[in-house]
Every structure is written in C-alpha cells, then in structure tokens.
Amino acid sequence: MPVQNKDIAEIFSRIADLLDIKNENPFRIRAYRQAAQMISGLSRNVRDMVDEGKDLSSLSGIGKDLAGKIETIVRSGNLPQLKKLEKEVPGELIDLMQLPEMGPKRVKKLYHELGIDSLGALKKAALNHKIRELEGFGEKTEDKIVQSVERWQSAGGEKRFLLIEAEQVVEPLIKMLREIEGVREVEVAGSYRRRKETVGDLDILVTRRKGTPVMERFAEYEDVKEVVAKGEAKTSVRLRSGFQVDLRVFEKSSYGAAMVYFTGSKDHNVSLRKMAKKENLKINEYGVFRGDKSMAGETEASVYEILGLQWIPPELRENRGEIEATQKGELPELITLEDMQGDLQCHSKASDGKDTIEDMAKAAKEKGYNYLAITDHSKRVSVANGLDADRLRRHMEDIDQVNEQLGGIHVLKGVEVDILKNGKLDLPDDVLEKLDVVVASTHYYRDLPRKEQTERIIRALDNPHVHILAHPFGRIINKRDPIDMDFEKILEAVKERNCFIEINAQPDRLDLSDVHAKMAGEMGIKLTISTDAHSMNGLNHMKWGVAQARRAWLTAEDVLNTRSWRNVKKLLKRD
DNA sequence: GCCGTTTTCGGCCCGACTGTTTTCAGTCG
C-alpha cells in the first residue's frame, strides 16, 4: 500500500516516544515529534514529493537526516531504525505513556524495576502496592495510576469528544460562570476555540474583580465529578460526561496573552516564542516582556502586533504556514457562516428525513438562504427508504408544487445517488438529467482495495450528470474509519470534470477533514459545504462545516454555495 | 536532529501543579 503522510508521522512519533523512554537527547526527540506533527498537517502528499525528486529538506523541521529517513519509509514502507529501537524498548511501553500521569521517566523506571510493560501489569502492580515502594513514587501516585488505567480501559483509549459535544457541555458552564458577581471575561480557549473537529479537554479563561470566588464556584459546579487539581491560578475538574475542564484566572492586563497561550496550538505558540526571542522578547501567558518590562498582553492583537504580525484567526493557528502567510500579507480572508447562501444537501420525509419538503424549505428560508437542494437517497440505500426512478419523478413534482406555493426561496430538485460497487449510479441517466443538483456518494463496499475504490469513484464522476462528490471518505468520527482511496487522483478527477467536492457539515462526519479540504482548495477546486440535514434542526449544522472550511484556509470564493442560485446554476454546468 | 540578520556550533519555549521531597523531578499543556 502506498505510504501516506500519516504513516510517516506515526513512525516518527513512535521513534520519539521510544527515544524519550530511553532518555535520549530531548532536542533530538523534539525534532522527531515536530517532524511527525508537520507531516500530518501537510496538505501535499510526501510520497509524491519523493517520486518527483523534490528536496524534502525544504520542509520546515526536516533536515538531511530525516529527509533520508522519509525516503526510506516511502520506498520500503518502514524504517529499520524503528525496528531496532523496538528491540531495545518494548513498543508496548508507548501505550503506557498515553496515560495521564505517565511520562517517559516513570514508564522507564516501572519497566526496569518491576518489569511492567502493559496496562494490565501496571494495574496489577499498583493494586498489589508494589509501586508506592519505588523511590519517587508514593501512595497517591499509585492510586491515581489505578484510576487512570480503569478510566482508560472503560473509555477504550484516549477519548476525544466531538466539537458539538464539547459545546453542549461548555455552554451551560460558561453561562454559570458569567453570572457570578464580579466575573468579567469568560472565554473558552484551546482546540475548542480553534474549532478542531474533536476536543480533548476544555480550557476556560476568566478575568474577575479581586476576591471573586470563581474557583470555588467552578469546583462546586453541579456537573463536576472530581476536582483534579486546585491552585491559585488554575483549577482542573473532571465532569460527569468525562470532560476535563481547566479554569484559569488572569488579570485584565494579561488576558490577550493568556488567550494566545491557551488557544494554541502548542506548535503555533512555539513559533511565536521563537520569533519573540530573536527580538529579545519573551512571551508567556502573562504578556510579552523585554527584560522585566511588559510590552503587550492585554489583547491578542497586541501580542501579534509587537511581533510584526496581524492577528491570526484561531482556526489557522496550527503552525501550518499561517505565520509565514501573515508576514507576507497573504493570510486568506476566511469564509464565514454569513457568506452561505444555500444548502446543497438535505433529506426530506421522502427518504430518511424527519420533515416535509415544505418544512425544510421554510426553515431554510428563515435562515435567509436563497436556495435549498432536497437530495433524498436513491433506492439502493434501502434502510433509508431510498427513491427509485418512479418515486423520484413524483418527488420532483412535489418539489415543483412547494416552489409554486412558497416564494422567496428556490427549492432545488436533487438526489443523493448511491455509487454502486462498479462505479455506476443507482438511478438511470434519463431521470438524473432532469434534476437541478446530483450529489453522488458511497454507502456500501467501504473496504474495497484502494485502487478499485479510487476507480469506482472516478467512474461515478464520469457520469456527466454528477455535480458533487459528497462525504467523500464516509468516515464517522470515533466510529467509522475513512475509506481507503487515492485522494489526489480523486481530486484531479473532480477538477478535470468541473465537479465539486463536499465538506459534509454533520458534526460527526466533517468529511472532508481540514487537511483534505485544504488540499482541494490549493488545487483550485471549488467545494460545497452542506449540512446533509435530516430535519429542520439539522440545517443548523452549517456552522460546523464552515468551521472546518476555515481550518482549511478556504475563502468564500472557494465555496460554491456562497453564491446565489443564479450563479450556482451556471457553475453546475459541467462543460 | 534541526537551524542560522549573534551561521557550521551551540543553542533549541515557558510556567503551573502535584507529590514526594526537604529543594525538586515529573508531567502537562
């Protein structure tokens, strides 16, 4: 199987962990970690760069040595160095490092002194009170280890929550905090603010009048299951839902610096601090300092400004070139929810939706949309009561009727046609050609070999009636892996055929991912952002899709349905 | 292992909290 960026990143990341346990030079370890991070965020395929003979050391954080290792991985699929390391240090120890409280030092000590090389062995040793006897460990650490192993095992690994789940938890919490007398600013920072598709834990920043009991009220919040840590500057709690939430209190003069610091990403911050250091400045969460003198920090903009940068939207702060882009004045003007003029995929009662065409159209009209495409399933998706050609024809008449009755919005005749195993479509051409919008997607045969899967999808795009390739990877976050396909070939096919590719805004799909959507944008392909709503309420998911598009550096220009139906109609013509 | 307007060596981002310690190491973000 051709080597993907994530395969290279994973090898480097494993090497970093193993070197960490071996207590190697921390800067060497960091180099591997940064390389892994950089590669996983790259929108270009490194394999292609190797094939084209590009100089990999032009990538930031990649020097001669790592460039050579990448080539080895691309050509052979693995790296002898990793194999060798895994002979010296059991690979299972990496699993232990995933536990909170467990870093390389403790893992190493437990392995050497007690032979612990698995979660099971760790738990057993802790329950038998073997761990507290070791130097540097104690009773409390031992208890915590038991707890985290149990939590880990019951959650099935490190749990990351969907952004929408995080919103449901954090909104009532910040409302409570804002209502406390004396509290001023309350904002959520971290990956939540960067709108990452999943969130590990939540960071809330607060300013308040001196003496306001905000830490106390936070620790007593009704949803708190356990107070993990409580200090003057920071309190950490675990909520019943499993979220860990950190609350940090800052002075007004530090608030902007704290927002930058805790919004991250970590890699973005490291880049900022490196820049600062060159100017003899120091950045921390309290401000920007020259010696002891505070130079900036009250607002985020002031922190960026003193480094000669424009304020950077949180969604871009991943150290994927945003700092360089700002320096060149090439930061994109990111798409906003207000730019959206219509929705190009949703379902009605005709297939598996909950609401009628009319209700869906009214809801879209209320959102101020210019158009809404009704794209019910085709017959192959029988669990969803998909439409055959006859039902679809009658369905189209129903849509015509709604259009006659309801003014002020164009209800588009569409379908989400299933791509069959052989790449043919689930409906005949003579009905597809009558539709305003044809959205094609796969639902079955998700485990075809890569080549076959790629060809299948391209064959579907060959049908001249297809406009949009929807939820291209078919993943469900935390539940269903993406299908295996050659995405760059797919993108080329989309481009050649004047088609479009979707960012599905369902909060558990968000398919395309940020990196893939960025790749499409860079190739000059236009995308659609569609809710795939199955009810009126589902139309509200647009904001998640827009957030994903922002993380992909997309502008309103890059997205088809920021245009009026008049203009969309012209662009949907394939030739 | 990377990097360079202090350049080919000697740096490499910064602080809070905890637990186990009597001044700090480990971990985390």
Task: Give pLDDT tens digits for A320-346.
Answer: 889 989 988 889 999 999 999 999 999
Angle at Cα A412 formed by Cα A409 and Cα A414, nearest 5°? 160
Read off the pLDDT of residues A163-177 as tens digits, 9 standing for 90 and up: 998 998 899 999 999
The CATH 3.30.460.10 domain(s) of chain A lie at: 161-249
DSSP class of A296: E
**Which 3 state secondary structure label does DSSP give A437?**
strand
Q: Are strands A198-199 and A183-188 parallel, antiparallel or unpaired?
A: unpaired
Instruction: Check whether residue A262 has its CB closer than 7 Å to nucleic acid strand B.
Output: yes
Among A532, A534, A561, residue whose Cα is nearest residue A549: A561
Residues A365, A369, A375, A376, Cα dihedral to 10° = -30
Class (C level, CATH) for A5-154: mainly alpha
* C-alpha to C-alpha distance for A249 and A185, rounded to whole angstroms: 10
* Inter-residue long-range contacts of A290-299, CB under 8 Å, 24+ positions, other chains counted: A294/A253, A296/A256, A296/A257, A297/A253, A297/A254, A297/A255, A297/A256, A297/A257, A298/A252, A298/A253, A298/A254, A298/A255, A298/A256, A299/A255, A299/A256
Q: Average pLDDT, stretch A503-512?
A: 95
Tokens at A429, concatenated: 């051409």
Q: Which nucleotides of B are covered by protein (CB under 7 A)?
A: 1-3, 6, 11-21, 25-29
The CATH 3.30.210.10 domain(s) of chain A lie at: 265-327
Reported confidence tier of residue A554, pLDDT bands at 50, 70, 90: very high
pLDDT value of position A1: 62
Among A229, A175, A168, residue whose Cα is nearest residue A540: A168
Phi (first) and psi of residue A148, to 5 degrees: -70, -35
Instruction: Check whether residue A98 has its CB closer than 7 Å to nucleic acid strand B.
Output: no
pLDDT value of position A157: 67
Name residues 143-172 of chain A with a Cβ under 7 Å from nucleic strand B: 144
Do A117 and A111 touch, CB atoms closer than 8 A?
A: yes
Report CA-CA distances (Å) from A443 to A180, A206, A385, A426, A491. 49, 45, 14, 11, 19
Q: Per DSSP, what are the bridge partners of residue A501?
A: A469, A527
pLDDT value of position A250: 93
* C-alpha to C-alpha distance for A564 and A342, rounded to whole angstroms: 8
Name residues 268-287 of chain A with a Cβ under 7 Å from nucleic strand B: 269-270, 273-274, 276-278, 282-286
pLDDT value of position A156: 65
* C-alpha to C-alpha distance for A77 and A11, rounded to whole angstroms: 10
Instruction: Check whether residue A219 has its CB closer than 7 Å to nucleic acid strand B.
Output: no
pTM (2 d.p.): 0.85
Class (C level, CATH) for A337-571: alpha beta
Q: Between these two residues, A520 and A102, which has the higher pLDDT value?
A: A520
Residues A263, A268, A274, A280, Cα dihedral to 10° = -40
Read off the pLDDT of residues A45-85 as tens digits, 9 standing for 90 and up: 888 889 888 889 888 889 999 999 999 999 998 899 999 99
Read off the pLDDT of residues A75-115 as tens digits, 9 standing for 90 and up: 998 899 999 998 888 888 888 888 888 888 899 889 988 88
Q: Average pLDDT, stretch A493-504?
A: 97
Of the listed ranges A236-245, A359-368, A436-445, A523-532, the least confidently predicted one is A236-245
Instruction: Check whether residue A267 has its CB closer than 7 Å to nucleic acid strand B.
Output: no
Tokens at A93, concatenated: 């120890």
Which nucleotide lies at the shortest CA–C1' distance from A107? Answer: B26
The CATH 1.10.150.110 domain(s) of chain A lie at: 5-154
Q: Between these two residues, A481 and A315, which has the higher pLDDT value?
A: A315
Q: Average pLDDT, stretch A547-570?
A: 97
pLDDT value of position A90: 87
Residue range A161-249, CATH number: 3.30.460.10
**Which 3 state secondary structure label does DSSP give A425?**
strand
Among A249, A257, A258, A254, residue whose Cα is nearest residue A209: A249
* C-alpha to C-alpha distance for A117 and A91, rounded to whole angstroms: 9
Residue for token digits 């989309």?
A: A494
* A52 class by beta-carbon count within 10 Å (0-12 exposed, 13-18 middle, 19+ buried): exposed
Which nucleotide lies at the shortest CA–C1' distance from A286? Answer: B15
**How many helices (H) and strands (E) are present in chain A, helices listed first?**
24, 17
Name residues 555-574 of chain A with a Cβ under 7 Å from nucleic strand B: none
CA of A515 to C1' of B9 (A): 37
Among A146, A47, A15, residue whose Cα is nearest residue A487: A47
Report CA-CA distances (Å) from A281 to A44, A288, A510. 34, 7, 39
Read off the pLDDT of residues A384-432 as tens digits, 9 standing for 90 and up: 889 999 999 999 999 999 999 998 999 999 999 999 999 999 999 999 9
Q: How much of chain A, in percent, has pLDDT values that exceed 90?
A: 62
Distance of CA A255 to the CA centre of its chain: 26
Q: Between these two residues, A102 and A513, which has the higher pLDDT value?
A: A513
Residue range A265-327, CATH number: 3.30.210.10
CA of A29 to C1' of B10 (A): 17
Do A85 and A15 touch, CB atoms closer than 8 A?
A: yes
Among A525, A166, A563, residue whose Cα is nearest residue A339: A563
* C-alpha to C-alpha distance for A155 and A50, rounded to whole angstroms: 39
Contacts (Cβ under 8 Å, ≥6 apart) of A517: A503, A527, A548, A549, A551, A552, A554
Instruction: Check whether residue A501 has its CB closer than 7 Å to nucleic acid strand B.
Output: no
Contacts (Cβ under 8 Å, ≥6 apart) of A464: A574, A575
* Inter-residue long-range contacts of A27-30, CB under 8 Å, 24+ positions, other chains counted: none
Read off the pLDDT of residues A189-217 as tens digits, 9 standing for 90 and up: 999 999 999 998 899 999 999 889 999 99
* C-alpha to C-alpha distance for A98 and A395, rounded to whole angstroms: 52
